[in-house]
């Protein structure tokens, strides 16, 4: 039995070898897709036993017992499975059945496509869950020529992936199932190898941890099933990190993601971490164009769905359609202005705030520009401050993210806070320098959270600013205006400095003397050379005259 880290490293090394020249971001869809399919299949096996759908006999495997169900009984069994799990996999296409055919060399190239087609067909057996699973494997293009130039070559590549995934023992040294941990590790590794594209689907865990801790701090202990929302959810890693901060509670997850591939990744990721489809609502849509589906009551009054916690790391300074109709949008109209067309940062912020409960907390990562840029953004910033909705501003170090090296800030917002001040934290200098990205250590994260909880001035690190102080700064929230991190130069030893200057002057004089000597010697040599040349020229002239 291997450790979790050894298993993760092994599967990553093998995955890299198998993908050959295929782009890491593209190969990700296949290996993560098959891992998820194995998870669904083995999850179904557990249900088959618990739900008394099969009764293995004489050391018979669960899959063999499932294969033995008569066709007429299977017609009733599949809807029962789908009703409980939200999906159903027919006996012929379970992970164990596919692996058996691979091991017996009876797998047909068409079996892989049939496997996915069967899964999609069976989704019709549970209409309540259909949208949670619909299209989840669409990014596994089994006809992709980069898998191979022929059907047989592509089938061979897929079979190699199946072998890779099946041969890894998904248990650690303590017998704990670590399939979800491996899945998270692979997402992170693919992010590391995807460069700036990684920003579309992955927020570094240490940043996610800060956001999660911030929104969970003041969560009402009476709420047993709190709801968390991420309107730019990527692979869902940030949503899952929030669960770690509310032990003993069963979260309900909501997320929206524009990129379809990333949206599929998020659905897989949440389910791999034992989030049942009933407790997750993810949408594939443009957050700023398609608000969270809420509707209005019979009087036409807007009633948005609101959440206990909102977390987000949206794309920075993205373009959006800020046409005049958006001023009527209830998400933005209270603030009297729209975010600029080329900088949607405040549009995302106001969207999240609109969906926050009155006693909830929101934490969002944005570029520093939102703190001091003028025009419409200054108008929105002033309105937020006058409504007393900005609770804290935390400056993070540069180069924490895959997508950008710029330093960022975390804004903490509340709708109903009692204090009338804003806490500023400058954590930009507290990090460990990494090879590609800088890293926030545990002590760096703890310092941020402890300072937020204590809400006191900390020399060169934090300051609690009154609203009057902010007004004096014309509502500019640039952190250096409130947290002075200037380090004075150490006092100068005048005696030592005078001695050093005298020694330097002597060295200069000696150098000048040596230089003058060298110049005189060169000048002397030049004069002799010139005299010799003149003599030679006269000799030539005389020779010419003698010879006519």
DSSP string, 380-433: HHHHHHHTT-EEEEEEPPSS-SSS--S-EEEEEE-SS-S--EEEEEE-TT--B-
Residues 160 and 293 in one domain: no
Question: Look-up: residue for tokens 């005298």?
Answer: 502
Q: Are residues 85 and 182 in the same domain?
A: yes
> Pick from 481, 515, 530: which residue ends a domain?
481
The pLDDT tens digits along the chain (548 residues) read 456 677 777 777 777 777 776 777 778 888 889 999 999 999 999 999 998 999 999 889 999 999 999 999 999 999 999 999 999 999 999 999 999 999 999 999 999 999 999 999 999 999 999 989 999 999 999 988 888 889 999 999 899 989 988 887 776 667 677 777 777 877 777 777 665 554 555 688 899 999 999 999 999 888 989 999 999 998 898 999 999 999 889 999 999 999 998 899 899 999 988 899 999 999 999 999 988 766 555 555 667 889 999 999 999 999 999 998 999 999 999 998 999 999 999 999 999 999 999 999 999 999 999 999 999 999 999 999 999 999 999 999 988 877 677 889 999 999 999 899 999 999 999 888 877 788 899 999 999 999 999 999 999 999 999 999 999 999 999 999 999 876 666 666 778 878 888 888 888 878 777 777 776 666 665 666 666 666 656 665 665 556 55
Same-domain check for residues 498 and 403: no
Rounded distance, CA 164 to CA 31, Å?
9
Pair (23, 169) in one structural domain? yes
Q: Is 233 a domain residue?
A: yes
Judge if 283 and 232 occupy the same domain.
yes
- Which residue, of 141, 175, 193, is where some domain finishes? 193
Q: In total, how many domains does the chain have?
A: 3
pLDDT of residue 271: 93
487 inside domain: no
Q: Do 204 and 74 fall into the same domain?
A: no
Q: Is residue 486 part of a domain?
A: no
Domain that holds residue 227: 198-481
Q: Answer yes or no: do 307 and 453 share one domain.
A: yes
Sign of the alpha-carbon dihedral angle for 155, 160, 165, 167: positive
């Amino acid at each position: 039995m291997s450790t979790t880290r050894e298993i993760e490293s092994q599967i990553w090394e093998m995955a890299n070898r198998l993908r050959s020249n295929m782009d890491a971001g593209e190969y990700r869809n296949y290996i993560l897709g098959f891992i998820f399919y194995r998870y669904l299949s083995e999850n179904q096996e557990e249900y088959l036993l618990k739900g008394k759908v099969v009764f293995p006999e004489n050391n018979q495997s669960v899959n063999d017992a499932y294969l033995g169900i008569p066709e007429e009984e299977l017609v009733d069994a599949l809807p029962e499975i789908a009703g409980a799990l939200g999906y159903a996999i027919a006996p012929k296409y379970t992970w164990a059945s596919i692996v058996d055919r691979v091991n017996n060399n009876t797998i047909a190239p068409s079996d892989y496509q049939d496997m996915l087609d069967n899964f999609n067909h069976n989704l019709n057996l549970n209409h309540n869950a259909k949208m949670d699973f619909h299209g989840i494997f669409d990014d596994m293009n089994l006809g992709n020529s980069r898998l191979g130039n022929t059907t047989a070559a592509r089938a061979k590549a897929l079979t190699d992936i199946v072998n890779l995934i099946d041969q890894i023992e998904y248990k650690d040294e303590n017998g704990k199932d670590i399939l979800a941990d491996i899945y998270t590790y692979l997402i992170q590794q693919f992010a590391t190898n995807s460069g700036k594209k990684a920003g579309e689907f992955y927020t570094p865990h240490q940043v996610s941890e800060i956001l999660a801790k911030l929104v969970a701090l003041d969560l009402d202990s009476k709420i047993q099933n709190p709801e968390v929302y991420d309107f730019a959810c990527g692979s869902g890693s940030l949503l899952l990190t929030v669960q770690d901060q509310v032990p003993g509670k069963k979260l309900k997850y909501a997320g929206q993601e524009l990129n379809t591939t990333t949206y599929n990744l998020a659905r897989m990721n949440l389910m791999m971490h034992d989030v049942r489809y009933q407790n997750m609502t993810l949408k594939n849509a443009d957050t700023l164009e398609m608000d969270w589906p809420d509707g209005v009551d019979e009087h036409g009054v807007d009633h948005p769905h609101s959440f206990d916690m909102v977390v987000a790391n949206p794309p920075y300074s993205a373009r959006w359609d800020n046409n005049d109709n958006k001023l009527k949008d209830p998400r933005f109209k209270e603030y009297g202005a729209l975010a600029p067309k080329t900088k949607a940062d405040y549009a995302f912020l106001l969207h999240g705030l609109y969906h926050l409960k009155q006693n909830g907390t929101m934490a969002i990562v944005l570029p520093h520009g939102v703190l001091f840029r003028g025009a419409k953004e200054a108008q929105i910033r002033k309105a937020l401050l006058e409504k007393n909705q900005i609770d804290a501003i935390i400056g993070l170090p540069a180069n924490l993210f895959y997508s950008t090296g710029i330093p960022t800030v975390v804004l903490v917002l509340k709708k109903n806070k009692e204090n009338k001040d804003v806490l500023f934290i400058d954590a930009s200098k507290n990090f460990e320098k990494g090879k590609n990205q800088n890293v926030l250590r545990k002590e760096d994260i703890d310092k941020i959270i402890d300072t937020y909880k204590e809400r006191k001035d900390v020399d060169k690190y934090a300051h609690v600013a009154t609203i009057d102080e902010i007004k004096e700064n014309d509502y500019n929230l640039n952190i250096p205006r409130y947290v002075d991190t200037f380090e004075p130069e150490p006092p100068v030893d005048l005696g030592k400095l005078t001695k050093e200057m005298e020694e330097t002057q002597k060295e200069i004089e000696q150098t000048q003397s040596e230089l003058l000597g060298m110049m005189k010697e060169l000048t002397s040599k030049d004069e002799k050379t010139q005299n010799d040349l003149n003599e030679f020229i006269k000799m030539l002239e005389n020779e010419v005259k003698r010879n006519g």
